[in-house]
């Protein structure tokens, strides 16, 4: 029997956002992801999908139109990117200029091996210096 998942399985990480324009500035303008899809015409929610063209994953940010969903990030709601080298000061500064703010990591592991930034909704992005698997 074939396993349900393999390395080509597509992954969508979905989160609510209060401001899709601010999220786009952070993830596209700051981090360099591409806007893969954007819609304000969906009857349920405004959508912003960012990622890398051809990758089997993307981040979907939604602003529900018919009901209020407020982002409720914690210090452990992490999107970790394994860069294989320390993040450049320029990248960190660019993310800060585009609406991110550097925050201390809740887990000392991430403080040791990376830089943690909060996105405009307060969700945390870790730029990890280690390689995956780490």
Q: Where are the domains of the chain?
A: 11-64, 78-128
Cis peptide before 23 (omega within 30 of 0): no
What CATH superfamily classification does 11-64 receive? Answer: 2,3-Dihydroxybiphenyl 1,2-Dioxygenase, domain 1 (3.10.180.10)
pLDDT at 100: 98
Q: Are 65 and 90 in contact (CB under 8 A)?
A: no
pTM for the model: 0.92
In this predicted structure, the answer to whether residue 122 has a pLDDT above a threshold of 90 is: yes
Domain 78-128: which topology? 2,3-Dihydroxybiphenyl 1,2-Dioxygenase; domain 1 (3.10.180)
As a whole number, mean pLDDT of residues 14-28 equals 96
User: What's the pLDDT score for residue 133?
Assistant: 81
In this chain, the answer to whether the domains covering 11-64 and 78-128 adopt an identical fold is yes
Predicted confidence at residue 58, as pLDDT, reads 97
43 has pLDDT over 80: no
End-to-end CA distance of the chain: 30
**CA geometry: angle 107, 111, 115, nearest 5 deg:** 120
pLDDT surpassing 70 at residue 39: yes
Residue ranges in the chain assigned as alpha helix (H) = 20-24, 89-97, 108-113
Residue 13 has pLDDT above 90, yes or no: yes
Asked if pLDDT for residue 134 goes beyond 80, the answer is no
Identify the band that residue 93 occupies on the pLDDT scale cut at 50, 70 and 90: very high
Bridge partners (DSSP) listed for residue 15: 61
Do 102 and 96 contact (CB within 8 A), yes or no? yes
């Amino acid at each position: 029997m074939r396993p349900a998942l393999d390395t080509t399985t597509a992954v969508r990480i979905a989160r609510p956002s209060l401001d899709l324009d601010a999220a786009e500035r952070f993830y596209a303008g700051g981090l360099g992801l591409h806007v893969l899809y954007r819609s304000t015409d969906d009857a349920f929610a405004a959508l912003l999908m960012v990622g890398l063209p051809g990758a089997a994953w993307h981040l979907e940010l939604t602003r529900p139109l018919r009901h209020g969903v407020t982002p409720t990030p914690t210090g452990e709601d992490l999107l970790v990117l394994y860069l294989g080298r320390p993040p450049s000061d320029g990248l960190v500064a660019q993310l800060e200029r585009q609406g991110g703010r550097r925050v201390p990591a809740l887990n000392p592991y991430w403080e040791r091996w990376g830089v943690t930034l909060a996105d405009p909704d307060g969700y945390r992005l870790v730029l990890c210096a280690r390689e995956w698997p780490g």
